Structure 1
Amino acid sequence: TFNNACILVDHITGQSNDLVVSITTDGTYSIKVKDTTWLHSAPTSFVTGGDLHSSPGGDLKLLQTTGTSGQDLLGAWEDTNFQYQAGESRITASIRLYPKRQDNFLIFSQKYVDDAKETNVSSYDDIIGCFPSFKLTNAAAELGYMAFAGGFFGNQNKAFGRFNANTTRIKDGIEGGPIAIFDHEGNTIIISPFSEFMVASQRFKPGDSIGWGIMGGVKEVPKGYQYDTILYYSDGINKAFDGWGGLLRTWFNKTDSDILKDDTIKYMGYWTNNGGYYYYNTEKGKTYQDTIKELIQYANDTGIPYNYYQFDSWWYTRGEGNGTKEWEPESTIFPDGFKSKDNVYAIQNGGKFAFVIECNSSVSVPIQEEFWDSLFTKAQDWGMIMYEEDWMTWEYLKMESFSTNLILGKTWLSQMARSAQRHGIQIQYGWAYPREAMQSLEFPAVTQARVSGEYRPGHSEQWRIGEVSMFASALGVRPYKDTFWTTEIQPGNPEENRLSNLAFSLRCCTTDGQILRPSKPATAIDTQILQRAFHPLLPGDSEIWSTHTIYDATYHDLYFGTVLVVDPPEGYILFAKDLDFIIDEGEYMYYEYPKFSEMAPFNKSSILKLETRCNKTNPCLYHFVQKLHFEFHGNHSYYIIGEVSKWMTMSQNRIVSITPDYNAELMINMLGAPYEDVTLTYIEDGELKQRTCNLGMPGTQTMSLVTGRCPF
């Protein structure tokens, strides 16, 4: 216990001093980034007994300030604890740091030492406890922000701007999500919930403060309940999201194991959702059953490698509020067979399972895990591999209990995910709020999420997912932008049977439909986000995304980068520092796809002038190839350009590994469909070469770059 009236201590959060928290024993604190103070604490407050208690300046009494230490999954930690008396309840606010870690972050916690009653406030978008909280001031450093909010993992109402006393556009409350705050150099802190995601909110008071706590509708909090907030720092926006997400995934043990099993991520399929030709539409005079059978037959006859078929909301029995009444195929839709408020599953409607049903709501929520077991067991017999929980924002808003109950939201999603996990079914979230997005950290079965609106007429801008993909990817969820079309002109929405473009489809995948993808989702580069925040008057339609595929080439990691450019500002220059796959010691060649014969050198000092001809109709795609030195039997250099007939020319789904061996061979191990021909393009000692290998019956092959033989 600190007995002095007021002691100020600077705490370095990791093994560098890039992020420092200054803590005073009176309960105030501030945040420094690289020796510049960015944030000053605003008052701490809690609601109990129907009254607001705050400090300083109010009747929230600081009982004691203590220091504790210990060890957890993240390492050795040190806490500064402020114990407050809020009416009849004691509540501890603490700041935790991990001084021995390489990364820099803080955990702020609110722990209820006693039960707290009458905690709710007048607005669900407010909070019942505020810690941490920061003043909106004009800091010594000019700061910008990116804040996620609304549906589609926060993509719907995301906002950019300057973070200062005049900030007005941050969406808080039920819709709110993580916020990234950064300076002109890209030094970034991310602030978000670290636990209890379904009840966590931020409160934004324009011109005053921003703070984090439990959402405003919660009426009581039990003894021992704890909510946590994380503040994470890194020296780049993308780097900050990568590090923040990696830490969260470590804490919640979220791995890619289920993603690797999800065939709807791995393979191309056919979708019938809104924007598709067969969305509430069949072939003239035919049932859906006949329509789908003909679609499958045509794909089989022509070699279109659809590995699965998505059935949207048109096939089951609808009920009150247009929700799901019975999740069974209607006889007029699938004659051979195959949850709304009045669903047949609820005990209240004569069913077997417990549901929450509110008198004035058009939705209901299952609260018995056996319901999901029953649903998924039946769906397994149908051959279902992925379940989409759609309209999640609508469900949340229409069910008032989600905003007043501490555990209902988490119970709903947890029961669904656990059951799906047991049945080997993956889940896609649709229209999810950021709170639902972050809750997916606890569920390996949630492998993907739609982060955009539907791809349909009138929604031509829905593909802009560069920023939100940073958020989704950080959570261990693959971002999904809805479907893509292979033909531009059709009678109605694409893809009508017999009008799909096979050649176009195969540019994204192997002949058996495995999607050729990079090592990470493509995300907006930092400078795009900095421009949106600091220069909002410049053209706002620019999209510059990057991604890469990385190989362990024995001697060093080998990077193959890809950059998408759409509508860059006039005279825009792309620097090497803007691309996370350019390493200082690396030598590269780059080209604009598909003109691989026009390659030019690139290194850490290079620039690339982007042209305004790169637009939505004709986007520019640049590929960067790192030089590979091979020193057996002489000093040889290689640039492996890859499979130039594909958009993603280097993918570990095709080129599995690049391996030197003791026989002085440089082996390229390939994967694909049985008997598929794969043509590999590369440069050997300055000479452009191509070799074609047939993968044979196993669908695997090894080629030697040294001899050009396959099998080597």
Structure 2
Amino acid sequence: MAHKFRVAVIVVVFAAGSTVNAGAVGAQPSSTSITAAGITAAVQPDGTYEVRAQQPAAWTFTGSVGAKVTDNRTRTGQDAIGSYREIDFGYTDTVARTASIRVYQNTAAVLFGSTTGAASPNVPASGVPFPSLKAPALPHQESFQDRAFSTYKFGGAPAPDSPLLSFDDQANGFLFSAADNFPVAKLGVGAGNTLSEGIAASVTTLPAGFTHQSILALGKGIGTTYGTWGSALMALGGKHRVPNDANTTLNKLGYWTDNGAEYYYKYDENLGYTGTLLAAAKDFADHGIPLGYMQLDSWWYPKGSSNTWQGNGNLRGGEYTYRAAPDLFQQGLAAFRDQVGLPLITHARWVDPASPYHGQYTMSGNVVTDPRFWEGTMRYLADSGVVGYEQDWLSDGAQAQYNLSDPGAFVDNMAQSAAAKGIDLQYCMPLPWNYLQSTKYQNLQTTRVSNDRFERGKWDEYLFDSHLAGSLGEQPWSDVFMSKETDNLLLSLLSGGMVGVGDKIGDLSTTNLGQTVRGDGVLVKPDTAIVPLDSTYLAIAKDAQAPMVAATHSDHNGLRDAYVFAYARNGGSQSIGFSPAELGVNGAAYVYDYFSGKGRLVPAGGRFTGTVSDGSYYVVSPVGRSGIAFLGDAGKFVSAGSKRISQVSDQGRVETTVQFGAGERSVQLHGYAPAAPKATATSGTAGPVSYDAATRLFTVSVTPGPGQKAQVQLG
């Protein structure tokens, strides 16, 4: 695996009226400064440097390379993030090094860089890596732990491969992390709140021209800070955001057989394992809920020294061979795929010590780094109808030795070989660095963000960790649950990513699933992942038992419908509140309690308050020029999701396009109106409007026209 060596750090700041000043190119014998996007970066001849920002607050970050600077110069250019101005300078710390500070014109970013001129000990003579920034000491911090799924935490020392978010009582914040060499990155927090990004002690020597990158993002609002940080990392990694309907596994309901599902290492003995799964798929189809794909967990391949599907030893052992267990799949995996008629996701572990792979391929620890293995594996999976590969146990057995090459060879060859065969990846049990590493792989599309078997005790980690995954372009996945569990199903749907259940045959809830998918199995979901509000971050950082209020949304032509899920975290009931404005819903809004069927009009600038316990769900819709708050499909959790409501506008009357799945005959629309509205259809039909003068809620049934669409006007 080839490595490009250069060190970098990014600072991202939000400021209005950003400008870029022209700069000369040439040696600068004295202090040098550059300004762009409201940020000023400066380097002094004695080796001190600083970044000053006026927005979101008057913050200064300072540091020193510990040596005199040589050959100061400025230049301009453009990279994947955008147009920039840069200060370049040289200095010596054990070996000669060159460094740079780069400020961006349009994305309000600053990039710090350092390049080693010769091989050097990992720890420089100065004792600190570049950069080491004395940062503002803000009252609150969030980071992610070096444990399975990288569970969030507030306060305390961050894991070395974690990003670190610091924020004040107005939710102004900055986020600091590695931007390259993620497996061996080492985040440090020293005296005086000095933040540094270096390389883990397991690496003793850095080669000439070594590259390390780090990123610091500043923003007004925690969500804004995460968003810009993640966008910058994706730009550096060459990744684009993955649409949440990019493939079948994201677009349709799935059936899962992992830990917590009914058929995890268990099946109907009268049917056999494959027969049981065929019957499960038929059960969904018979109930009018077609599946889009099926996941096969670790039971599907032989494990441990026993070379059996049940495995043996600790945790049943690792992979003996990564092929379908012949006593379960007598005709092979491809034949099963043809029988079930569904694309497959297959699970993977580490390689067992008894596996013949140790003698056949180059390995590091208990994972394969050899591209030949990955090419052969992905060819086999693709030929067997597999569209998704789930790499599990990333925080445990599935880890390479932590040096400068092996972790990258493991995940790079996995991703590249999968991409060559059109297979998408999912990370499971990720460490913080795995989340960040995903920015290098366009086909790393989903990441498990909470522990096995989704349930109430895992909601917090699911929501906070979804912010990490979503900001980096990964669709978060909750893990399996049963369809009768309304709140678990709803929260998983609100991720905007994949949704999968693990029901026993004959035990599915068509009522709940019918509120989740169209008749063709397509998920009706929001545009983005549900995450805690900025105000929730502040509340929980101050009080560990503060309630959760999280939200996501659907956007249509400048109109936003928000979806809010809230619950108590004190074991009882708690008061909550939010304003439509903080959800991005402008002006007056109608807040509809989905489960009670009641709502409340909130005036522009107003605030909604309520009391929650186990889980409350609200749809927040803007009141348009017509005076109507259009709530969308009364039969769907995400009532204005784009797979059902593909278009909405309100320039004095509501105009909407309703998308039907194959075989669907009618949809009931609903909303709030000050008086009974009239409904007309220009495509399809609209029935009579039912209006409740007491609640001011209306409903109307519509049927599809050509293209399985209805075009309806309300006013």
Per the normalisation by structure 1, the TM-score is 0.80
The farther-off stretch of 288-297 and 446-455 is: 288-297
Q: Is the 8 Å Cα contact of residues 276 and 456 (structure 1) preserved in structure 2?
A: no
Q: Are residues 1:372 and 2:374 paired?
A: yes
Give the number of equivalent residue pairs: 624
Secondary structure of the corresponding residue to residue 322 of structure 2: strand
Using the alignment, how far apart are the partners of 2:640 and 2:93 within structure 1?
59
**Residues 550 and 456 (structure 1), Cα distance of their counterparts in 2 relative to 1, 3 Å cut:** closer
Q: Is the 8 Å Cα contact of residues 30 and 37 (structure 1) preserved in structure 2?
A: no
Q: CA deviation at 1:22?
A: 5.3
Q: CA deviation at 1:64?
A: 1.4
Name the structure 2 match of 1:544: 549
Using the alignment, how far apart are the partners of 2:590 and 2:162 within structure 1?
39
Using the alignment, how far apart are the partners of 1:343 and 1:590 within structure 2?
59
Using the alignment, how far apart are the partners of 2:356 and 2:378 within structure 1?
14
**Residues 128 and 305 (structure 1), Cα distance of their counterparts in 2 relative to 1, 3 Å cut:** farther
Q: Are residues 1:212 and 2:197 paired?
A: yes
Secondary structure of the corresponding residue to residue 610 of structure 1: strand
Using the alignment, how far apart are the partners of 1:668 and 1:119 within structure 2?
60
Q: Of 610, 617, 623, which aligns to 1:621?
A: 617
CA RMSD after TM alignment? 3.1
Secondary structure of the corresponding residue to residue 385 of structure 1: strand
Q: Is the 8 Å Cα contact of residues 674 and 696 (structure 1) preserved in structure 2?
A: no
1:365-444 pair list within 5 angstroms: 365-368=368-371, 370-395=372-397, 397=399, 399-400=400-401, 403-404=402-403, 406-444=404-442
Q: Is the 8 Å Cα contact of residues 668 and 705 (structure 1) preserved in structure 2?
A: no
Q: Is the 8 Å Cα contact of residues 590 and 599 (structure 2) preserved in structure 1?
A: no
Structure 1 regions of 5+ residues with no counterpart? 45-54, 56-60, 122-126, 162-168, 630-635, 708-712
**Residues 193 and 128 (structure 1), Cα distance of their counterparts in 2 relative to 1, 3 Å cut:** farther
Report % sequence identity. 21
**Residues 660 and 587 (structure 1), Cα distance of their counterparts in 2 relative to 1, 3 Å cut:** closer
Alignment deviations for residues 482-529 of structure 1 (CA, whole Å, 9 cap, x no partner): 12322369xxx9622111112112221112221111111111111111
Q: Of 506, 513, 521, which aligns to 2:521?
A: 513
Secondary structure of the corresponding residue to residue 324 of structure 1: coil
Using the alignment, how far apart are the partners of 1:242 and 1:686 within structure 2?
40
Q: Are residues 1:466 and 2:480 paired?
A: no
Using the alignment, how far apart are the partners of 2:356 and 2:190 within structure 1?
43
Structure 2 regions of 5+ residues with no counterpart? 1-26, 306-313, 334-349, 487-500, 677-696
Q: CA deviation at 1:153?
A: 5.3
Using the alignment, how far apart are the partners of 1:577 and 1:32 within structure 2?
33
Name the structure 1 match of 2:289: 304
Q: Which amino acid aligns with 2:157?
A: I
Q: CA deviation at 1:590?
A: 1.5
Q: Are residues 1:159 and 2:148 paired?
A: no
**Residues 254 and 476 (structure 1), Cα distance of their counterparts in 2 relative to 1, 3 Å cut:** same
1:168-317 pair list within 5 angstroms: 169-173=156-160, 176-205=161-190, 209-256=194-241, 259-284=244-269, 286-317=271-302
Using the alignment, how far apart are the partners of 2:425 and 2:574 within structure 1?
43
Q: Which amino acid aligns with 1:274?
A: N
Name the structure 1 match of 2:449: 451
Using the alignment, how far apart are the partners of 2:510 and 2:412 within structure 1?
40
Q: Are residues 1:337 and 2:332 paired?
A: yes
Q: CA deviation at 1:271?
A: 0.7
Q: CA deviation at 1:410?
A: 1.9
Name the structure 2 match of 1:72: 78
1:632-643 pair list within 5 angstroms: 636-643=626-633
Using the alignment, how far apart are the partners of 2:580 and 2:194 within structure 1?
34
**Residues 327 and 243 (structure 1), Cα distance of their counterparts in 2 relative to 1, 3 Å cut:** same
Q: Are residues 1:327 and 2:322 paired?
A: yes
Using the alignment, how far apart are the partners of 1:620 and 1:561 within structure 2?
14
Secondary structure of the corresponding residue to residue 512 of structure 2: helix
Q: CA deviation at 1:91?
A: 1.9
Q: Is the 8 Å Cα contact of residues 668 and 702 (structure 1) preserved in structure 2?
A: yes
The farther-off stretch of 567-576 and 296-305 is: 567-576
Q: Is the 8 Å Cα contact of residues 146 and 159 (structure 2) preserved in structure 1?
A: no
Using the alignment, how far apart are the partners of 1:20 and 1:474 within structure 2?
26
Using the alignment, how far apart are the partners of 2:624 and 2:657 within structure 1?
13
**Residues 244 and 85 (structure 1), Cα distance of their counterparts in 2 relative to 1, 3 Å cut:** same
Using the alignment, how far apart are the partners of 1:82 and 1:142 within structure 2?
31
Name the structure 1 match of 2:3: none
Name the structure 2 match of 1:3: 29
Q: Is the 8 Å Cα contact of residues 559 and 626 (structure 1) preserved in structure 2?
A: yes
Q: Is the 8 Å Cα contact of residues 449 and 462 (structure 2) preserved in structure 1?
A: yes
Q: CA deviation at 1:676?
A: 4.0
Name the structure 1 match of 2:481: 484
Q: Which amino acid aligns with 2:568?
A: D
Name the structure 1 match of 2:686: none
**Residues 541 and 660 (structure 1), Cα distance of their counterparts in 2 relative to 1, 3 Å cut:** closer
The farther-off stretch of 422-431 and 207-216 is: 207-216
Q: Which amino acid aligns with 1:505?
A: L
Alignment deviations for residues 631-653 of structure 1 (CA, whole Å, 9 cap, x no partner): xxxxx443211112221111001
Q: CA deviation at 1:251?
A: 3.5
Q: CA deviation at 1:389?
A: 0.6
**Residues 582 and 67 (structure 1), Cα distance of their counterparts in 2 relative to 1, 3 Å cut:** farther
Per the normalisation by structure 2, the TM-score is 0.80
Q: CA deviation at 1:113?
A: 2.1
Name the structure 2 match of 1:609: 609
Using the alignment, how far apart are the partners of 2:58 and 2:698 within structure 1?
56
Using the alignment, how far apart are the partners of 2:398 and 2:139 within structure 1?
33
**Residues 108 and 702 (structure 1), Cα distance of their counterparts in 2 relative to 1, 3 Å cut:** same
Alignment deviations for residues 552-602 of structure 1 (CA, whole Å, 9 cap, x no partner): 1xxxx011011111117887553437723133xx33221211445533233
Q: Which amino acid aligns with 2:655?
A: L
Secondary structure of the corresponding residue to residue 318 of structure 1: coil
Q: Is the 8 Å Cα contact of residues 451 and 468 (structure 1) preserved in structure 2?
A: yes
Secondary structure of the corresponding residue to residue 390 of structure 2: strand
Q: Of 24, 41, 54, which aligns to 1:34?
A: 54
**Residues 144 and 78 (structure 1), Cα distance of their counterparts in 2 relative to 1, 3 Å cut:** same
**Residues 142 and 474 (structure 1), Cα distance of their counterparts in 2 relative to 1, 3 Å cut:** closer
1:4-153 pair list within 5 angstroms: 4=30, 7=31, 9=33, 11-14=34-37, 17=38, 19-21=39-41, 23-34=43-54, 38=59, 40-41=61-62, 44=65, 55=66, 61-64=67-70, 66-73=72-79, 74-87=81-94, 89-98=95-104, 100-101=105-106, 103-116=107-120, 118-119=121-122, 130-135=129-134, 142-151=138-147
**Residues 345 and 285 (structure 1), Cα distance of their counterparts in 2 relative to 1, 3 Å cut:** same
Q: CA deviation at 1:452?
A: 0.5
Secondary structure of the corresponding residue to residue 454 of structure 1: coil
